[in-house]
Amino acid sequence: MLNAFMDIVEILQYDAPVLMKTSSVSTTVALVSTQGAIVLPVIAFAIPFFVSGPQWLTGTAVNCLLVLAAARLPGRHVWSVILLPSVGAVAHGMLFGPFTSFLLFFVPFIWAGNWLFTAVFLRLRDISAILAVSAGALAKAATLALFALVFFRMNLVPQLFVESMSLIQFFTAIAGGLLALGILRFLQTTHE
């Protein structure tokens, strides 16, 4: 796990010519003109398979990748990191259980929440990175909580779904965003 993390750090920090000298994963990324444009989406899709445990852990990892992608990738490459974690979660549920139709119906709203998180982060990060993460987390959590509550009032999802799409979303977005800021600061101060 530590080696995989260090590969991500290497991919995020170096230019393409340097990547060709570091590892086979890095060489693959170097063939693409944008740093991390393949690796971050693959990790985003794989997180639900490898970290299918508690929501706080999975959510923190996904939100960390969202901020890293928003901060380091061109906008068109961020979309795959916005979309793929939910697709991975649905695929994991279909393959290994427990599959829940609630999640399937809610995927577009999760995408919207992920997009809001990255968009607000990008809009405010020049003012304050911590403010950007906090405001993005609030926008994401409020959006998900609102739609979960609407679905609950329509008797489409159970109360537990509302709970998992509200405060937990806010706290995992804060934790993931702060973790990403730490990684970005580490990269900036030690490797750039």
User: 123-133 b/e with 16+ CB inside 10 Å = b?
Assistant: ebbeeebeebb
Pick the range with the lowest mean pLDDT from 8-22, 28-42, 51-65, 80-94: 8-22
Q: What would you report as the CA-atom Rg of the chain, rounded to the nearest whole angstrom?
A: 17
Q: Read off the DSSP letter of residue 121.
A: H
pLDDT at 138 over 70: yes
* Domain definitions of the chain by residue range: 40-191
* C-alpha closest to that of 107 among 95, 119, 120, 93: 93
> Which residues fall within 8 angstroms of residue 23, CB to CB, at 6 or more apart?
7, 10
Residues 51-106 have pLDDT tens digits of 777 889 989 999 999 999 999 888 888 998 999 888 888 887 766 666 667 778 88
pLDDT at 1 over 80: no
